[in-house]
Structure 1
Amino acid sequence: MKADTVREMLPVIEDCMGDAPPYCHTACPMHTDVKGYVNLIAEGKYKEAIQTIRQKLFLPKSLGRVCAHPCEEHCKRNEVGNAMSIASLKRFAADNYDDEFDWDVTREPDRPEKIAVIGSGPAGAQAALDLRRQGYSVTVYEKHPVVGGMLYVGIPSYRLPREIINAEYSLLHRMGIKIKLATEVGKDIPFQEIVDTYDGVVIAIGAHKGFKLPVNGKDLPGAIQAVDFLREVSLTGTYKGFGKRITVIGGGNVALDSARTAVRLGAEKVHLVCLEKDIKEMFAHDWEVREALEEGVILHNSWGTEAIKGDDKVEQIILKKCIQVFDPKGRFNPAYDEGCQEIVETDMVIFAIGQGVDSDFATSVEVGRGGRFVVDEKTLQTNIRKVFACGDGTGISLMAVEAMAEGRIAAESLHRYLNLKDMRIQRDHERGYRTNLETSIPADDTNPERVNTRKLDIATRMRSFTEVDLGFSEEQAVEEASRCLQCECRLCVKECLMLQEFSPDCPKKYFKDALIAGEVDPVVPYSCNMCGTCTLVCPKDFKLQDAFMNMRKEMVMNNGGKSPMKGHKVIDMHQLLSFSRLFNTSRPARNGTNQPTAPTGGGK
């Protein structure tokens, strides 16, 4: 193609938004086709919806309940109201139409290399699955007697029923992945033995190490860590030495999980103390705070901990008023009014102020703050070449779906490492990223209200671990899915019959393919009627007609001055006759071109 033609095509190839994924898609670290499955639900194609979801996620039921859904945070509907209830729609499709007999259990032929994955949480499980699909022999080491990591021992069953975790994790067994439960690396088997035995290692142990505030009384019996409390309740259904008056310190989701779990264990009073001044500033989901308040949790905003008092066990906690959480530079730097204090009578204090990584077992792997493994952020490789780390243990991921994305990244890196391939190229969009799509809310949009899922009644949920969120009914799911704006550009395609026929995806793809091929079917540029409608509707003002016209000119030039279209031969004959002495009123000019003859009029 000539330079003029390419010059007209390049801006479209580089900046056309026709193939730009929607905001929800790129915000999802696993790049789930949100728009696709939501639209399928709206159309009543539920089976197709769960099949679309499972192309990326092996935990659709679990994530439909506990995902922090960054997709919803980036939903276009946030600009005018409430985001789509994407996670609940995923759950609807999975709960009602997922069939284990439809699960993809295909894999590449078995390879000789053996891989060890330490930890069976979302990150470790995803890494194990991806590596097994590549044909590797994979063994998972899990120190707990159950699979799932924090999904099982950190999230209460009233949010995520255990039978759902077990059912979805059965895919690992069906894929031929070996899982060694109740096997703690560093205790039951040395870490170095694993490094020496296996061709590759993925560390995905999560962040199961709790912290306590450095205050007087923190070591009294009854002052415990939230991760230990939630784990014991998850595994046994109770907590040894549980009191009747409970105080939880912290304002995040773990704190709320601890407080609501205490309610279900029969606590008479549950206090939740946090530095943040209101619900909006708390790190926990606002819906979970509201549900905790409904269940009787007493919220103490803008309070910090001065000390814990008691003779041989916890008896009371002294609070002090917090007047600042972050300093003017945005750094976490609480300030207190030491003269304003409050005493709360309590039998147990649960610290839910953050978690670290128990990485002492991996003595040869470099670790940083909080025991987190130091990794190359792009490849997740540690200082030991064949050892990779992912999930909460790296400090990069903050939610389950991010941990799964890291598991996938670690698996891909290890696969490349074992096959002597470059681990860094073509890896820019493996996590969540920003799309280049730019759309507006349609002028005729009525901004329908977000549909809320059904909830278990308050009295029932306070006395049991029965699941609180009951999900959508079919009618609710279709109504909510119908709110989706189906964000995309492709305005030119929607307006142009020619593009619909020859470039239904978007002009960017057509021009890109044409540039690679170096030629085009003349039917396409000759089908453009040069109306300019594409330019009128294009947010980038691309003039597709100019590119198509340059294609025509180049084709005519390469065809001896004649149209390349077979149907244009009659036009060529018409032009030949039109300029002959028999049929026109022109006479040849001196240079051979046609020169029209016109009367000069009278005169001297």
Structure 2
Amino acid sequence: MDSDRVRKLEARCIEEQPPACMATCPLHVDMRAILEKVKKGDFSGAFALYARMVPFPGIVGHICDHPCEATCRRQEAGGAIRIAAVERALVEESYATLRRTAQRQSKPKRVAVVGAGLAGLTAAFDLAMKGHRITVLEADAHPLERLYHDYDEDILPRSVIAAEIGALQTLGVEIRVRSRVAGGPGPLGLDTLIDDFDAVLLALGPGVARNFSSTVRLTDNGRIDIDPNSRATSHPKVFGGGFHGALGEVYSPIGSIRDGRRAAGSIDRFLQGASLTAKRDDADGEASCLYVNTAAQEAVPPVEPVDTAAGYTLEEAKAEAARCFPCHCQECVKACVFLAHYKTYPKRAVREIHNNLSIIMGNRKANRMIDSCSLCGLCETVCPTDLAMGDVCLEARREMVDSGHMPASHHDFALRDMEDSRSARAAFARHEPGRERSARVFFPGCQLTASAPGHVERVYAHLRDRLEGGVGLMVDCCGAPAHWSGRTALHTEVVDHLRQTWKEMGEPEIVTACATCLTMLRTHLSEAPVRSLWPLLAEIGWPEGTDARAAGKTLAIHDPCTGRHEREVHVAVRDLAARLGASVREISSAELTTCCGFGGLVSFANPDVANATVDARAAERPEDYLTYCAMCRDNFARRGKRSAHLLDLAFPPEDGADPAARPDPGFSGRRDNRARLKIRLLRNLWGEDMSDPESVWNVHIPDDVRADMERKLILVDEVTAVIADAETTGRKLKDRKTGHLIATLRSGPVTTWVEYENTETGALVHKAYGHRMNVEAKS
């Protein structure tokens, strides 16, 4: 994952884009953060943030023309936040706490500012804070003269203006009033200022400036010709600003301050010998691309102050600030347990993943995070820019595998389970009994054969009964675990094997019951015609006598995440459930379904995230769940959520047991189910000589120990192998206190320990534990 790709991915995540109010504000004041503090009652903290961006908080807090309110997203749900009113309450409460200290420079530069309006004094403030020596020259009798004329005392108290001027002078700014600057070389001539100072700012306001025509270039209407971005004039030491309000524009205090700030930024760059334009992010009024789901917000009207003249009280300001959402995108974080668990969002996660992959020496702390994504695609579905964290995590897994940095403990069990499902013990392919060619082949998938092998037999019989041209059976794995774990070579090997088998069977249409198999086969075995079982069943109907088997049942339907965009399948499944008499409730739209915790092999790499994922989904509706993915059903059952597979409704237990109460068979049970299904089918349908496997060793595992083994991903076969090896070779220890035997056996990266005792009926297991890791010997 190279740096260019990382930057492109980061750019697609809009979470760090400014909210609309901040983007619109000429000073880019972070009102989102300020309102967060106000609603918590932290007025001093909020004021500190405010004063960090606003040069004259006392003045601005009273007369800000608040262009931010026009773009506030809260206006779409009750009315815009009254930001100006909150600012005023904030300033009146905390202005007395204002403390500022300018930087110190060993060789400060001298800057002359002509004009003591808001633009000129803002430039003076910014440059003084950077340690420069500033002299302000004003023609009128007072600095900020316009404010005295434009605002009454009850709107902008004169004491506030005086306090702000005093604070500016405390920073070392010298203000000379009744000092009108003229053109030419006189005592207060522009040429003299150029000679005496390192830089000059002409913050003259909207009037013409013909007196300066001998020194700087003017426009046709007699104003100084100023570059709109850098504020540079034709003279290298002279800059211009303060023209806001000219040419018929409405005067804006906050706009004037922005003019002065832009000019100050250019002057500081000039004094440092830096470029006036490079890497500047100071554009005004640009719309924010931050996505905010305002439709999800309740409409709440603005808080009305009891005393409109006095403005908000502190409590009223807190209540108004509490109306702020605040604006964030985080649609993926809201939808994804994985991102929420790691308290991250795509832009940050992409950078963390890239840094993790770039480590040469040291701990790779993000390995587990990378392997905790279910690859379900929900983030991409809800993301306004279609950023898929699953693709990023899968790419990172492949890189980890290729570089030898994939922990064995994360995926070894899942890959061994895939190996078992593909082995001669479970996998096979046959044409329909009595036929040498098949128009179709039923591919149930390794999870349905493991979870409910009886359903596979019944569906296969039904397909043979209803379809012409022969229906073969192909019991195998689509290779999803290899793909999800980033083992590209292994996945290619699986697909090549499936392709060869499919060709040997005459290239029939593949009918699969599994949403994951449907996606994997269509993507990686694209030359083969592949369709889902469910639309096919909707065409041919259920077997006779099944129409009312689910009558009276109300279930909430969960769609598997790997089929979130399979609209034809969604419609067919709901139709099939209705034909069985079931009443179906939606949990969410099928496109917004979540993972059950199995996708991406999360349950093996990070059980906490997997369990939180399935638990969150299970809690969304009180009804029993209906699904058509075997792994989804078993994961719900494993976590105690009553759930039924669609085939459970069509083929309920003959003993009348509740289909929604069918337990999760567990990993050992799943392996046994696959093996027994192969034996049963080959013997009963194809007449092949098959015998049931017999164990030489009688091993008894209590239910609590079996549940603990399931949690630790320890198989019954592994425990049996340990005991068999110990009893055959004598490699075992005896605990004198309990009399129990302790033995261990290593197979590849798996080391299993078993504590047991021999009884008259066989070995009784008391405890099992183990670990998975690759052990390397270094010379």
**TM-score surpassing 0.5?**
yes
Whole-angstrom distance in 2 between the partners of 1:99 and 1:421: 37
Whole-angstrom distance in 1 between the partners of 2:317 and 2:354: 44
Give me the identity figure in percent: 27
Question: What amino acid is aligned across from residue 31 of structure 2 in structure 1?
Answer: V
Q: Please, which of 15, 18, 27 is the counterpart of residue 18 of structure 1? A: 15
Equivalent in the alignment of 2:315: 475
**8 Å CA contact retained: 2:216, 2:234:** yes
Equivalent in the alignment of 2:326: 486
* CA distance 1:498–1:111, shift in 2 (3 Å): farther
Which digits, 9 at most, give the CA deviation of each residue in 1:89-120, with x for residues without a partner? 111111111234x4221314242421111112
Whole-angstrom distance in 2 between the partners of 1:141 and 1:575: 82
Deviation of 1:384 (Å): 1.0
2:48 is equivalent to residue 197 of structure 1: no
**8 Å CA contact retained: 2:77, 2:299:** no
Equivalent in the alignment of 2:276: 423
Deviation of 1:146 (Å): 1.9
Equivalent in the alignment of 1:511: 350
Whole-angstrom distance in 2 between the partners of 1:149 and 1:567: 73
Equivalent in the alignment of 1:53: 50
Equivalent in the alignment of 2:125: 129
2:382 is equivalent to residue 537 of structure 1: yes
DSSP-derived class of the 1:401 partner: helix
**8 Å CA contact retained: 2:61, 2:88:** yes
- For structure 1, the residue ranges without an aligned partner over 5 or more in a row are 208-355, 456-468
Which digits, 9 at most, give the CA deviation of each residue in 1:447-478, with x for residues without a partner? 324525734xxxxxxxxxxxxx4221123212
Equivalent in the alignment of 1:384: 235
DSSP-derived class of the 1:99 partner: helix
Whole-angstrom distance in 1 between the partners of 2:165 and 2:158: 11
Structure 1 vs Structure 2 CA RMSD: 3.6
Q: Please, which of 70, 79, 82 is the counterpart of residue 82 of structure 1? A: 79
Which digits, 9 at most, give the CA deviation of each residue in 1:115-155, with x for residues without a partner? 11111221111111221222221111122232224223443
Equivalent in the alignment of 2:32: 35
Whole-angstrom distance in 1 between the partners of 2:159 and 2:196: 34
Whole-angstrom distance in 1 between the partners of 2:357 and 2:91: 46
Question: What amino acid is aligned across from residue 435 of structure 1 in structure 2?
Answer: S
Q: Please, which of 163, 172, 175 is the counterpart of residue 176 of structure 1? A: 172
Deviation of 1:189 (Å): 1.6
Which digits, 9 at most, give the CA deviation of each residue in 1:203-232, with x for residues without a partner? 11223xxxxxxxxxxxxxxxxxxxxxxxxx
* CA distance 1:66–1:359, shift in 2 (3 Å): farther
Question: What amino acid is aligned across from residue 390 of structure 2 in structure 1?
Answer: Q
Equivalent in the alignment of 1:98: 95
Which digits, 9 at most, give the CA deviation of each residue in 1:256-301, with x for residues without a partner? xxxxxxxxxxxxxxxxxxxxxxxxxxxxxxxxxxxxxxxxxxxxxx
TM-score between the two structures when normalised by the length of structure 2:
0.50
Alignment of 1:219-368 (within 5 A): 356-357=207-208, 360=211, 363-368=214-219
* CA distance 1:523–1:362, shift in 2 (3 Å): farther
Alignment of 1:520-559 (within 5 A): 521-559=366-404
Whole-angstrom distance in 2 between the partners of 1:485 and 1:586: 55
DSSP-derived class of the 1:477 partner: helix
**8 Å CA contact retained: 1:114, 1:198:** yes
Equivalent in the alignment of 2:719: none
Q: Please, which of 378, 386, 406 is the counterpart of residue 564 of structure 1? A: 406
2:212 is equivalent to residue 373 of structure 1: no
* CA distance 1:492–1:586, shift in 2 (3 Å): closer
Equivalent in the alignment of 1:206: 205
2:244 is equivalent to residue 404 of structure 1: no
Greater Cα radius of gyration, structure 1 or 2? 2
**8 Å CA contact retained: 1:142, 1:181:** yes
* CA distance 1:573–1:32, shift in 2 (3 Å): closer
DSSP-derived class of the 2:113 partner: strand
Alignment of 1:571-586 (within 5 A): 571=413
Whole-angstrom distance in 1 between the partners of 2:422 and 2:384: 48
Question: What amino acid is aligned across from residue 541 of structure 1 in structure 2?
Answer: D
**8 Å CA contact retained: 1:149, 1:206:** no
* CA distance 1:522–1:113, shift in 2 (3 Å): same
DSSP-derived class of the 1:116 partner: strand
* CA distance 1:515–1:122, shift in 2 (3 Å): farther
Question: What amino acid is aligned across from residue 565 of structure 1 in structure 2?
Answer: P
DSSP-derived class of the 1:139 partner: strand
Deviation of 1:586 (Å): 8.5
Which digits, 9 at most, give the CA deviation of each residue in 1:344-394, with x for residues without a partner? xxxxxxxxxxxx346635642233365432201110001111111112268
Equivalent in the alignment of 1:307: none
Deviation of 1:541 (Å): 3.4
DSSP-derived class of the 1:524 partner: helix
Aligned length: 431
* CA distance 1:182–1:527, shift in 2 (3 Å): same
Whole-angstrom distance in 2 between the partners of 1:438 and 1:386: 43
Equivalent in the alignment of 2:664: none
Deviation of 1:60 (Å): 1.9
**8 Å CA contact retained: 1:82, 1:450:** no
* CA distance 1:137–1:41, shift in 2 (3 Å): same
- For structure 2, the residue ranges without an aligned partner over 5 or more in a row are 359-363, 429-488, 498-673, 690-779
Deviation of 1:407 (Å): 1.3
**8 Å CA contact retained: 2:244, 2:259:** no
* CA distance 1:359–1:407, shift in 2 (3 Å): farther
Q: Please, which of 131, 134, 138 is the counterpart of residue 134 of structure 2? A: 138
Equivalent in the alignment of 1:352: none
Whole-angstrom distance in 2 between the partners of 1:123 and 1:407: 4
Which digits, 9 at most, give the CA deviation of each residue in 1:527-586, with x for residues without a partner? 223344423432333321122122112211221xxx6226448749967996999x9678
2:159 is equivalent to residue 163 of structure 1: yes
DSSP-derived class of the 2:175 partner: strand
Higher relative contact order (CA 8 A, sep 6+): 1
Question: What amino acid is aligned across from residue 252 of structure 2 in structure 1?
Answer: M
2:342 is equivalent to residue 499 of structure 1: no
**8 Å CA contact retained: 1:61, 1:90:** no
* CA distance 1:178–1:86, shift in 2 (3 Å): same
Question: What amino acid is aligned across from residue 132 of structure 1 in structure 2?
Answer: A
**8 Å CA contact retained: 1:38, 1:49:** yes
Deviation of 1:162 (Å): 1.1
* CA distance 1:532–1:191, shift in 2 (3 Å): same
**8 Å CA contact retained: 1:372, 1:393:** no
Q: Please, which of 288, 291, 296 is the counterpart of residue 438 of structure 1? A: 291
Question: What amino acid is aligned across from residue 133 of structure 1 in structure 2?
Answer: M
Question: What amino acid is aligned across from residue 336 of structure 2 in structure 1?
Answer: C
**8 Å CA contact retained: 2:210, 2:222:** yes
Whole-angstrom distance in 1 between the partners of 2:235 and 2:327: 44
Deviation of 1:33 (Å): 0.6
Deviation of 1:428 (Å): 4.2
DSSP-derived class of the 1:98 partner: helix
